[in-house]
Chain A
Amino acid sequence: MSWAQMQSPELAPELLLALVALVLSLLDAVLWPRRESRAASYAALFALLAALAMGLQTWDRPWRTETLWLTGDPAAAFADALVLCGAILAALLALGGNTPPRGGSPILILLSTLGAMVSIGSQDLVTLFVGLELSAISLLVYQATEDEVNHGLGVRAALRYAGPASIASALTVFGIACLWSAGGSPILATLQVGEATGSGLRAAAGGGLLLAGLAIRVGAVPFHLWLADVAVGCKPSAVLLTLSVGVVPALVVLGRLVAGPLSMLIPELEGLLLLFAVLSSTFGALLALPQRRLRRLLGYSILAHVGFALAGIATHAGEDPFSGTAWLQLAALIPAVAGVLAVSALAGPKGDNTAKGLARSRPVEGILLCLFLVALAGLPPTLTFVGRSALWSSLITYSGGGGIATGVLMLDGLILAYALVRFAGRVIFDVPTPSAEAVPAPKPATAAAAILAAAVLLVFGLWPLPIAQAAQMAAYTAVR
């Protein structure tokens, strides 16, 4: 079998990331003791950019349905692009820190991204588990080690994440074991086909455990307690990486499984997912309401967005996953969160910044922050508005124009928007509190991350056609 037959073009981004991570690890070992340098970070950033370019280049070729290891369809390519964009922005935020990143940090970014991409493209349960674990472990180490400024908050946040992540791993392993023994094969496409007589209960239990593991990884209520702590305690780059390689891939995998085997194995799956969605969005929106700290507000906003994405997945269980709705929401969420984190990094080193009166003291940062808050609120003219409108439409279609869940989710959207716009009002109109610490000059890498995020949100918000078409294409081809 030749290399070309083995899906080399589809695997190129993953191979590149693995190769660069290996080279950087070797160099890190050979050049011991470590010196403070940003060279490895730049190498990782360029590797991520090259991987994104390779991933985007596959859109120009005919898609192959038969691949040996990882899926090479538009759905996986779209999700890979999302993960890579998030990782690139995280790498920029890491470069913009006040101290150079540790020697091993870029390697951890690469490995966690690689793990996320492997889990997204996995065609069998074992590969899925390997991908999820690779990203989770790398992420955990990254959260804990990138903690110079917050004096232990990052370690504590990492520990808050470690517990649920460990439980998620255990549940996933048990779920995989149940599914494998019930279906006789770990391959996702054959799970419901190869189900032996009398193994329905085992398969359902396996599916349930797998679902619970993924729900913990996405931070859905009632497994959400780590989310806000990570948003507050970790460095901006670690928060964004948690979203990009932890939460988003888990949502994508969940969407693919719900569209495929899980819908056959778990009875009333849509109802269960919708319950997760309603709880997450309601808790997120209500908890965002009283927040006065930017990062905690961000944490609860992410929780509400997880709820909206789950609602998008739930309304399409068993058919084309997402119908583009969840894809659009995730595509908007990453730049919006990256933007808030970039501005919080520009506004001051502390994670407990209120951003009060920021538009007066630092107009550019203040206006950018308002734009990102408006984006998180799902308001025009940002890409989030497009995703949210598509979600409302699919919810109304799903519920036939009624439904308590639809009403509650819409109300949650309204509450979240109110909380975020009210916060934006504080940013614009309040008198800034004089700070005892001098705010450092903005770092070009952080400013670049903020400007990139704003450009993506505004350009695709005003002209969403390209990204909407790609999302729709991804939705139609993601059915296994």
Chain B
Amino acid sequence: MTLPLLTPALILLPMASAVLMVALSGRNSLARNLQARQVAGVAMGLQAALVGWFYVTWSPSNVVQTVFESPWLPALGTMLSLSLDAISVHALVVLSAVSVIAIVAELYMESRLSVARLALIFVVVAALNLLLLSGDLLCAAVAHGVAGLALAALLGVGCETAGHDAARRFASWSVAGTLLLSAAAAAVAAGAETTVVADLVRIAPGTTRLAAPLLLAALAMQIPLVPLHTWLAPVAVAGSHSGRVLVLGGWCLVGAAALLRFGLGLFPDLLAFASPVPMLWGIATVAYAGLLSLAQAETDFAHRLSWATVGTGGMLLVGVAGLETLPVLGGWLYAAGQALPRVAMLLLAHWLTVTGARSASLGVLWGLLALSLAAAPGLALFPGWLLISTGTSAAVAVGLLLGTAVIGFALLAPTIHLLQAPRGPSMPAFLSRSLVLVLALMLLSGMFPLPTAAVGDEVERLLDRVAHFGTRP
């Protein structure tokens, strides 16, 4: 069995699971819930196995592989094109892990199992997979729109007013992002008569350049970057657990991958031309996020985490704006490595807020996760952080060091509170196991940063286009 044959399964499998969930909704509630759990477990298991197989069989020599292509909208030169590269394979692995946590959160943390929410999780997974695999800008906009709307519904279904408000706010921002992305695709089509990324070798100056700011704005909303981040804090504190996990883990991760694939891949000369601006934007985002995370109340765990997420976007942008292999690679490793500990911390933060529990073990868990997000040496984020810092100028590196130190401090500070005299219930087994598993993964991937070589090759390929414009040695 080859990759081209199996790649469409990454979209069809979750879609089929969603349809199956919808079909189950007419049955009586006990049987329905049991079958929904079974379907969700099997589907996520298959998805994880498929992505794992992709990861294992992916060879660093396969720089980009177009696995499926078919005409979609001839008037704009749009193709339904699925392509694999090292970044998308790495992102698929992380996204699958986040999806598993989302399913676990839905099954064990919600007061009442909702088949509608389970169906929406699979729709989101299918759309995000399509966004990662899409080799066409307009198809990526379609996937962006579907994922955004499904996530908004997932956040709000079965929640109280705060969840509804968060869902509405997220829907507005994601719709704006989709329209900007589709307008960018339309601008590219107007100038180049195609929206297939592989065919857009060098976008001619003129009308298509309009696409660059539109695309950047859309992705800045998704990553998110200051000042387009205002949807994140409400989502971090309200809404369904699975929705919040998928937003903070999946949505932001896919935005980072899209920035590399579409932003760096399509407009290298513009990025090089405007290089101080993205760098400054990234530093400003890190500084702003650091200060705001510090300003939150000590027990406002979720808000602190949301500001740390905004800071990650800034770090990614600084790395990408470096326009060298090391900082770009570091930016990606940093952004991708954040997803898992962030969602684990989100679930822990929610449980701590709801129960008011504290104990030594909780403090240790929180502290370890905070260290992981603060890019402590030996953990998964450290290589990425190191590559960004060493690949940029000394002044920028000092700024980043300060910014990440402040964010790290803001995340670590609640540990003292949690280490105080124990109170409240003990942690549920599923949560403690999930958190320990995530920590183990963080430690392992910190010791053995496996995807570095393959992703590095892909970054080199993207940066070769920058070299074409004479900005790199």
Contacts and interface: CB of A to CB of B under 8 A. Distances in A.
A380 B145 contact: yes
B385 to A, nearest CB: 36
B146 interface: yes
Contacts of B345: none
Interface string A452-466: 000000000001110
Contacts of A425: 152, 156, 164, 167-168, 171
Contacts of A424: 171
B181 to A, nearest CB: 10
B63 interface: no
Interface in A361-386: 374, 377-381, 385-386
B416 interface: no
Q: How large is the interface on B (under 10, 10 to 19, 20 to 34, 35 or more residues)?
A: 35 or more
A392 B183 contact: yes
Contact of A465 (B73, B141, B167): B73
Nearest to A471: B75
Contacts of A394: 190
A429 B164 contact: yes
A418 B175 contact: yes
B235 interface: no
B76 A401 contact: no
B74 A469 contact: yes
Contacts of B149: 374, 379, 421
Interface stretch (B42-50, B202-210, B279-287): B202-210
Nearest to B185: A389
Given A389-B138, A417-B179, A468 B75 contact: yes
A62 interface: no
B75 A400 contact: no
A422 B153 contact: no
A378 B141 CA distance: 12
**Interface SS of B by simple majority:** helix
A472 B164 CA distance: 42
A15 interface: no
Contacts of B156: 425, 428-429
A396 B185 CA distance: 11
Contacts of B141: 380, 389
A393 B175 contact: no
Residue in B138, B179, B183 whose Cβ sees the most chain A Cβ within 10 Å: B179
Interface in B97-156: 138, 141-146, 149, 152-153, 156
Contacts of A379: 145, 149, 175, 178-179
Interface in B62-115: 71-76
A465 B149 CA distance: 24
Interface string B178-192: 110011011101110
Given A388-B182, A428-B153, A401 B187 contact: yes
Interface in A381-434: 381, 385-386, 388-397, 400-402, 410, 413-414, 417-418, 421-422, 424-425, 428-429
Nearest to B184: A392
11 contacts: A379-B145, A389-B189, A390-B75, A393-B190, A400-B206, A400-B207, A401-B187, A401-B208, A410-B179, A428-B157, A471-B75
Enumerate the 9 nearest inter-chain pairs by beta-carbon distance, A residue then B residue, closest first: A401-B207, A392-B186, A380-B145, A393-B186, A380-B142, A429-B164, A396-B190, A397-B190, A393-B189
Interface of B: 71-76, 138, 141-146, 149, 152-153, 156-157, 164, 167-168, 171-172, 175-176, 178-179, 182-183, 185-187, 189-191, 206-210
